[in-house]
A and B are shown apart, each in its own frame.
Chain A
Amino acid sequence: MSARRLLTLLRREVRATLRDPFTVAVLILVPLVALLSFSFVLSTEVEDLSLGVLDASGSYESRRIVAELEADGSFVPRPYATRAELEAALVSGEISAAIVFPPDFQRALLARAPGQPPPEVQLLYDGAETVLAGNAEGFLQGLINAAGAELVGPEAARGGVVVEMRALFNETLDGTPFMVAGTFGFVLSFLTTLITAVAIVNEKIGGTFDQLQLTPATNLEIFLGKLLPLGGMFAFDVVLMMFASGFVLGVWPRGNALFFVAVSSFYVMTSLALGLFFSATSATAAEAVQKTVFASIPLVQLSGFAFPIRNMPMAIQWLTEVLPATHYIRISRAIYLRGAGPLDLLPELGALTVFAVLLVGGSLRSLARRP
């Protein structure tokens, strides 16, 4: 191991990367675009949703309820004259929910007595859009009950137990911080692996990799010469994303920012090692890419980035534990959202270290196989 040789390799790598404007653009644009496009997709709000209205009663009360729904801004009522028209609109997806007032609605409402059943209102939801239907249900039910309480007076008190609810860490249940913290995991796992795999396979095809192996540089030096510059660039990406999400989206880490950058840079090394491993075991660029993309499907769907791991069957939950990204995403969310420190995260940090040792060892071994 010679410091001078390593320095030469580092300089070569940095120059080669910066000379290619496409790679530089990818390194800067992809994290920013990912950050902005993922940040808003998790929404628990309902806005301007088309709501079919079939008002067979045509009464003051039913119109009043519809007007209340419209005034709130969550729903845009669309009147339909017949049940058939309403059902056709649900099938074609024109409306996502519908409210049906029966002809005797007004009579039942005015004749309301303590012992009698309350007037019936039908709510139809488009179950084909599961998340949408679930969200719309909560909003619609709350709005109609509120409108109804105004119409018939406060004696329509609810029974049961009143729940005082409060969300810690995120009062408004805004989805942005959750997705921002996850996007770090996505970018640092996927982009890093892809860039490394493609860069090294291209060198192999161009023959420069063989030339490199003929120089007196040792395997470890070649490995570090590849890894450190790329690692440095991705550490820059971490800081870039942190400032972008802070200034543009108003999401700053709750925990220690320096600790976050340090853990992230450490994690970058494990993904880079994975990229090295893919490229060392592939003959063509297409093969390396295929491996990376194939590995990225579980990354997005099983790492907890988009879907909570808790909701998965037990066997698959075990499977998610062998993905390094699962552990990193847990860490980044803990630091970003709950302000966790190193002591809270010891098991996860330990898991990451194990992956780093295994992957770095594996990719060093695969590099050692000289032609």
Chain B
Amino acid sequence: MSAARQSGAGRAGDPRPRRISNVLALAWREAGLMRHDPTFLAVVFAQPIMMLLLLGFALSNEPANVPLAVLDRSATAASRRLVEEVVATGYFLPPRPVSGYAEGRKLLEGGDAVAFLVIPDDFARDALGGAARVQVLLDGADPLSAARVGGILRSVAAQFDPSGRAVAARREDAPRPARGAFDLRKRFWFNPTLADRDFFLAGIAGMLLTNLCLSVTALGLVAERENGTFEQTLSLPTRPLEIVIGKILPYIGVSYLVLGIATFGSGLLFGIWPAGSWLALLVLTLPFVCASLAIGVLVSALARTSAQAVFITVFFILPSMILSGVLLPYQLMPDGAREVGAILPLRWYQIGLRRIVSRGGGLEEVWLPFLALCAIFAALLLLIRWRLKPRLA
């Protein structure tokens, strides 16, 4: 309505407001189409809820239910207490006693145990002398779990006091008695229990917006070209850039809606509210959404059919989830991969999101990711201009 009125006003005046009204008219048309598209509505509403539930409840890198085999050759009070202390960490299933070394190895080979603890028969005597040793075999086939489980077992064993009472050693954040040359006081900031949920949910807006912006624009534009409606729009007295901006504008609004669903969802369901500035969150999101939409437009310009658009989009989204650091820390990736990831908008957005949501940062903490996102957006606009020109000549 308002767009139509403004376009009338623009016709009477100079050409500058006319350009704006063209864009607004297109945006209005696009927004009207969106409301009637059930698959689009599913992406906007169902996907955030599904991802919130998956990332909030289901996924975790923290070991749990770890199957443990124990060969207790010592069979003394001390050895039984060591096993009890291992189980008391809460990471393990009830230990499975085995009668021989071969049986334990077989459990590891079949994947029925992740760790195999062997307590030698002179354990109790050596423990009193302060020189006890145990052997642990790990299933290296699952390296990440094996590394974490090995660390847990090592720390339980290091605190084991064979003569005294059991040390309450629950979870990694429990205070530990001083060993070694120093009294190491460690603290995990922003997330004292190292819960994976906080890590995943801090980046969830980035994942959702990437999916939304890329798939909707790339598929939408190609479908219009296939149906011929794109040519119809082209025949209007509008410039190509105006068309693109007009199509993109409503999606910026939808993106903020999805950002709201993600933020309020993780806040209301899991109590994870942004610790920092909401204003910074809103400001940082704008260049990210623009850059993601621009990638979608670029994909649509590169693809000839919807099938091609689908493949390019899907196989752009998947590596960007991996390389950006939104699910796994990018800091640990090898050199080439870290740099490739830096050209992805999602990398910078998730860096900014973690500063705001987890660490309580504000505008001054996110200027670098903000500028990086603006630069990526500008580069994409140049690419689109170059790519759209011959087609629309």
Contact = CB atoms under 8 A, between A and B. Distances in A.
B328 interface: yes
Contacts of A46: 332
A145 B183 contact: no
Contacts of B54: 297-298, 301-302
A44 B131 CA distance: 29
19 contacts: A22-B308, A33-B319, A37-B337, A45-B332, A92-B355, A118-B178, A127-B190, A128-B198, A131-B332, A138-B151, A156-B180, A161-B132, A163-B153, A165-B135, A167-B143, A175-B143, A177-B141, A198-B310, A313-B58
A210 interface: no
Contacts of A91: 355, 359-361, 365
A194 interface: yes
| Among all A-B residue pairs, the 8 with the closest Cβ atoms | A148-B181, A170-B140, A127-B191, A167-B140, A128-B358, A127-B188, A337-B141, A161-B157
B186 interface: yes
Interface stretch (A220-228, A263-271, A282-290): A282-290
A354 to B, nearest CB: 21
B322 A37 contact: yes
Contact of B135 (A160, A164, A308): A164
Contacts of B359: 90-93, 126, 128
Chain A residues touching B, range: 35 or more
Given A26-B311, A338-B109, A312 B59 contact: yes
A117 interface: yes
B196 interface: yes
Contacts of A287: 39
Contacts of B187: 122-125
Interface in B29-75: 39, 42-43, 47, 50-51, 54, 57-66
A159 B39 contact: no
Contact of B132 (A135, A162, A313): A162
Interface stretch (B1-9, B158-166, B249-257, B293-301): B158-166
Nearest to A99: B184
B180 A148 contact: yes
Given A123-B187, A312-B60, A198 B138 contact: no
A117 B183 contact: yes
Given A161-B162, A164-B133, A297-B54, 13 more contacts: A90-B359, A118-B180, A120-B183, A126-B189, A128-B202, A129-B199, A132-B332, A165-B150, A167-B139, A167-B140, A168-B109, A168-B141, A311-B62
A168 B137 contact: yes
A321 interface: no
B179 interface: yes
A307 to B, nearest CB: 5
Nearest to B303: A22
Contacts of B146: 167, 170, 173
B181 A156 contact: yes
Interface in A247-274: none
Contacts of B311: 22, 26, 30, 194, 198
A310 interface: yes
Interface in A32-89: 33-34, 37-38, 40-47, 49
A42 B360 CA distance: 28
A46 B36 CA distance: 50
B130 interface: yes
A313 B57 contact: yes
Contact of B329 (A123, A125, A127, A129): A129
A306 B58 CA distance: 12
A138 B311 CA distance: 41
A344 interface: yes
Interface string A318-332: 000000000000100
Contacts of A126: 188-190, 359
A133 B305 CA distance: 45
Given A301-B54, A310-B65, A159 B158 contact: yes
A231 B62 CA distance: 38
A304 B159 CA distance: 33
A80 to B, nearest CB: 15
A158 B158 contact: yes
A96 interface: yes
A134 interface: yes
B110 to A, nearest CB: 6
B221 interface: no
B327 interface: yes
Contacts of B371: none
B148 interface: yes
| Interface-central residue, B43, B172, B186, B196, by most chain A CB under 10 Å | B186
A137 interface: yes
A307 B54 CA distance: 11
A169 B139 contact: yes
A308 B319 contact: no
B307 A285 contact: yes
Contact of B145 (A118, A121, A162, A310): A310
A167 B219 CA distance: 47
| Interface-central residue, A138, A144, A161, A294, by most chain B CB under 10 Å | A161
